[in-house]
Structure 1
Amino acid sequence: MNLETLNTTNGSTSVNCTRNLKITQTVFTVLYTVIFLLGIIMHCLSGWIFFNVPSKSVFIVYLKNSVVADILMILTLPFKILSDSGIGPSQMSVIVCRFSAVIFHESMYINLILLGLIGWDRFVKIVRPHSRNKMDNVSQAKMISVAVWIVMSLLSLPNMILSSEKADLQSSRNCILLKTPLGVEWHKAVSYMGVIIFWFVFISMILFYTIISKKIYDCYINSKRKGNPSRKKRLKVFIVVAVFLLCFAPYHFLRLPYTFTQVGIIKDCQLQNRIYVAKETTQWLAATNVIMDPLIYVMLCKPFRKLIPGFKSSSNCSQEADI
């Protein structure tokens, strides 16, 4: 009942592998359900709050787009939960393969890029504060956000269109079998591009926050000399890189190896199963981004805290971040 035989094809070579689905049908079903419930609660509040916060800064623009991407990702989770648990109809797995999984990954990469843009914004505000009026262009941030949505949608759409092969019990459980030959090649290309995007943002974040760390340390030494050694406020900015590393780094270390198992480059069945479990684990970590992002909103955005019952802040968020 919890076993299935997967078939992957690489040219003329057919590879059969029996996979134990117990972990996805039990453990991850529960874990995704927890994320879905928490995510819905948090983002109903987040969406309402940001609806009442004017887009007066680059930071707020990126946060609002992040909320939309989070909500989109959350809405894909019920399909995965029903499919993995076996509760939903047999066609649910096909819907996941063709649509919801694609939207999940599109939302994930939009969020990943937005975290990189937020990191750049924090870098400018802390390291080059005198340039922030020039850099704090809300219209430009809106155009960048729209461009990110358009580019990621254009990359994702073919993964839906080219998953048009006839569905059966086997292909509904192994998404790659639903793809046309061109769809398989597009899937590989998008996987490679996703990894490139991750590493570009990852390296940028490391550079940004290395420089930010030095700046914060210098400020701490100067304030200590003046008898005011508090640096707690500025350390809040590191929540952005913490969320990025926790949610997205593990998944992208596994992204290419898992793609290789799908297209038959990795043929060893035992290794395939290990990579599959690791992929499911790291993909769940990526999904936790929807409940981690609100930490960024609370810690770095004053108007957000101001509208939460129990939080008091009289400051207007003209430069929005507590840094």
Structure 2
Amino acid sequence: MALQTTRLPELSITVADGNQNSTNETQCINLDDWDWLTRSQPVYLFIITALGIVLNAFVLLVFCLHKKACTVAEIYLSNLAAADLLLVSCLPFWAVHIGNGFNWPFGVALCKVVNAGIKMNAYCSIYFLVLVSMDRHVALVHPMSHGRMRRPKYAKLGCLLVWGLGLFMSAPTLVFRAVRYFPDFDVQACFLDYPSHTVELICDGMLIIFSFIIPISIIAFCTVTIIRALKKQSVARFNAEKSEQKATTLVLVVLVVFLICWVPLHFTTVLDVLHRTNVMGGCRLEAVIAICNQIFAYLAFFNSVINPILYVIVGKNFRKKVQEVCKQWAVSTVTTASTRSNTSATLRTFT
């Protein structure tokens, strides 16, 4: 009987393919070792959700309400904020799931949609940063041609293509996510029910290649060229393109923080694939991978909260936009109050 490993958030289960009962189930780690992690997960997820929704919604409001049109870099960063908002909106379902003893109470449809939303964030976030890196590369390394290449309509088209790519790459999650009762653990779990071990490895391989190797390679190339271009800039050039330098600084900081948050999870996924293909083995390694997979996943989720904070701390242009939006709101409020006052005075005159 062929066996496949189903990785739940709190433990590793070995279950039989198809509808047959599982046999020779094994656990490489003591479930008591997960107590410290499972107790903290719901609280952590709700905190991430609250902060992420407020901060990313704030970023989107600033970009949308500002009277000036967004620059190309701001179009990409606003879409990144939208992707982060999508992710944190999905996390409360998993918080309830974990707090409910790892029983999924929301049905099959939400099992598929919620996890597809999380998967879309993994793809869309990295490719929005790819677009940002390419934009900075063109602006600094090829300044003579950036007027033709860096147009808002092209940026919006690129963002639309990234959302389409994220939806396409999350299709396996929509297809293979299922809800099943595991009697040995007494849980009604939302899990990835791959039809075969080969399909599972193909999906994981696609995740590693398209959400890690390819985009990280592009980002690394662009980052190196950006740093070289910044070093070569003369003082006069630096002053002339001060706004470009400010935007580049923000982008580089966002990139570094993203890599810190996401690379450990992707590295653990690579180890997991190598373990399941018997390239690497050992029960201890399986236990380490299982625990690290959970810890690094929640580190990756935290990136959705850090990004809006970085815009405020590092992004001088963004802070300027916030001040201008606040002034717009204040002027609008005063104008509205004045209009109401004049209207009331006019009504009193004719009564």
TM-score (norm 2): 0.73
Describe the SS at the equivalent of 2:14. Answer: strand
Q: Distance in 2 between matches of 1:270 and 1:174?
A: 26
Shift of 1:266: 7.0
Question: Which of 20, 24, 49 is the aligned partner of 1:36?
Answer: 49
Which region of structure 1 is more displaced relative to structure 2, 119-128 or 16-25? 16-25
Which region of structure 1 is more displaced relative to structure 2, 12-21 or 187-196? 12-21
Q: Distance in 2 between matches of 1:276 and 1:126?
A: 42
Is 1:270 the equivalent of 2:280? Answer: no
- In the TM superposition, what whole-angstrom CA distance separates every residue of 1:264-305 from its partner, at most 9, and x where no partner exists? 987744322211110111111211121122145333472x32
Q: Distance in 2 between matches of 1:143 and 1:104?
A: 23
The correspondence of residues 162-201 of structure 1 with structure 2, limited to 5 A, is 162-164=176-178, 166-169=180-183, 170=185, 172-173=188-189, 175-176=191-192, 179-181=193-195, 185-197=198-210, 198-201=212-215
**Cα gap change, 1:127 to 1:28, in 2 (>3 Å):** same
* % same residue: 21
Q: Distance in 2 between matches of 1:15 and 1:295?
A: 45
Describe the SS at the equivalent of 2:26. Answer: strand
Shift of 1:105: 1.8
Structure with bigger gyration radius: 2
**Cα gap change, 1:90 to 1:294, in 2 (>3 Å):** closer
Q: Distance in 1 between matches of 2:107 and 2:275?
A: 19
Shift of 1:10: 8.0
| 2:338 corresponds to | none
One-letter amino acid of the structure 1 residue matched with residue 265 of structure 2: Y
Describe the SS at the equivalent of 1:16. Answer: coil
Describe the SS at the equivalent of 2:322. Answer: coil
Shift of 1:23: 3.4
TM-score (norm 1): 0.78
| 1:57 corresponds to | 71
Describe the SS at the equivalent of 1:285. Answer: helix
Shift of 1:156: 1.3
| 1:319 corresponds to | none
One-letter amino acid of the structure 1 residue matched with residue 175 of structure 2: I
| 1:317 corresponds to | none
Is 1:155 the equivalent of 2:169? Answer: yes
Is 1:118 the equivalent of 2:147? Answer: no
**Cα gap change, 1:34 to 1:263, in 2 (>3 Å):** farther
The correspondence of residues 1-323 of structure 1 with structure 2, limited to 5 A, is 6-9=13-16, 15-17=25-27, 18-20=29-31, 21-53=34-66, 55-86=69-100, 90-92=104-106, 98-164=112-178, 166-169=180-183, 170=185, 172-173=188-189, 175-176=191-192, 179-181=193-195, 185-197=198-210, 198-219=212-233, 222-223=234-235, 233=246, 235-259=249-273, 268-298=282-312, 299-300=314-315, 302=317, 304-308=318-322
Q: Distance in 2 between matches of 1:93 and 1:19?
A: 29
**Alpha carbons 1:188, 1:259 under 8 Å: kept:** yes
One-letter amino acid of the structure 1 residue matched with residue 202 of structure 2: A
Shift of 1:91: 2.6
Q: Distance in 2 between matches of 1:215 and 1:180?
A: 47
**Cα gap change, 1:175 to 1:72, in 2 (>3 Å):** same
**Cα gap change, 1:175 to 1:166, in 2 (>3 Å):** closer
Which region of structure 1 is more displaced relative to structure 2, 159-168 or 120-129? 159-168
Q: Distance in 2 between matches of 1:55 and 1:309?
A: 16
**Cα gap change, 1:237 to 1:156, in 2 (>3 Å):** closer
Shift of 1:248: 1.6
Shift of 1:73: 0.2
Q: Which runs of 5+ in 2 are unaligned?
A: 1-9, 328-351
- In the TM superposition, what whole-angstrom CA distance separates every residue of 1:120-161 from its partner, at most 9, and x where no partner exists? 111111222222111112222222211111122122133222
Shift of 1:174: 7.2
Q: Which runs of 5+ in 1 are unaligned?
A: 314-323
**Alpha carbons 2:108, 2:179 under 8 Å: kept:** no
Shift of 1:19: 5.0
